[in-house]
Amino acid sequence: MRSENKLRRMISLSFLLVLLLTIAVPAMAYTIDGDLDDWGVNPANNSWTANPPALSVYDDWQYGPTSTGENHNPGVEECDIEAMYAADGGAYVYFAFITSMPPEGYDYEGHLLIPGDLALNLDNENTGEYGYEYGIKLSNDSRTVSGEIGDVFYMPDWKKLNPEVAQDMAKFSNIVDGTKTGHAEVVYKLYEDWSYDNGAPNYVIEMKVPKSALGISGNGTANLLASVSCTNDALEIENFTYTTVPEFTTIAVPLAIILGLFYYYHRKRQG
């Protein structure tokens, strides 16, 4: 009877430990499909803020709601970035944007305007040019760094690609050089839930970025900047909090101990 009670207690403790370990590992995840329903966002229903703990910033040109404290006119609608979202989740960080800039760019009076690349300041220092030591490529334009959409670069060189028609909402727009550290899953597509705004189509950029590509090895906060090549519009998220990725051994070792003890008491009871 005593061995049976010990076995029961051990099983109960095992389940409790597994539960605690499960809670300790971030479970937030988003489907990278260009649909923001899993973020809780739908501007067509005036739902601009993502579900917590995701962070949100939005500024729908001069006509819509704002969380930035000001409305400004970015010129042509195609230069508008409506909203930006960020969330931490396990081994990845997730980002999403709503913009009127087509993935192939927009010809404005003979100047090809293109999506800006995502800039990340992960150490809250002045590391790297303009203080942004990581960047994620979001355009195939030949004026930018070679590679694929979604490539992650460390210590990128940044450049404003269309200064002749630019405003100054940001000092730069795109990566022209850098060291590739990984690749993010990216979807850039027409936003079906809110497909048209102020005379132009709307698009969603949604991405899933491995923390390993960003050199994340501990907890910290980051500043994020999104713009377009004309820098007529820019959105920034400050103090985005991210966490370290739990190593497999921190979970595997306790589970191995649990299984070993379970096997030991089970065999002892049978013997």
Instruction: Give the tens place of pLDDT for each residue, 97-109.
Output: 999 999 999 999 9
d(CA 107, CA 112): 5
The pTM score is 0.82
22 pLDDT higher than 50: no
The residue-averaged pLDDT of 88-93 equals 93
Tokens of 160: 């404003």
Range in 68-82, 86-100, 109-123, 158-172 with the lowest mean pLDDT: 68-82
75 pLDDT higher than 60: yes
Range in 111-115, 183-187, 246-250 with the lowest mean pLDDT: 246-250
Question: Within a 13 Å sphere around the CA of 254, how many CA atoms are in the beta-carbon half?
Answer: 14
Residue 250 in any domain: the answer is: no
Residues 96 and 145 in one domain: yes
Residue 25 is predicted with a pLDDT of 43
Residue 268 in any domain: the answer is: yes
Residue 230 in any domain: the answer is: yes
How many structural domains are present in the chain?
A: 2
d(CA 137, CA 115): 9
Residue 219 in any domain: the answer is: yes
Residues 230-258: pLDDT tens digits? Answer: 999 999 999 999 987 654 444 445 555 65
Question: Is the sign of the CA dihedral 71, 60, 94, 38 positive or negative?
Answer: positive
Helices (H), the chain: 2-24, 248-270
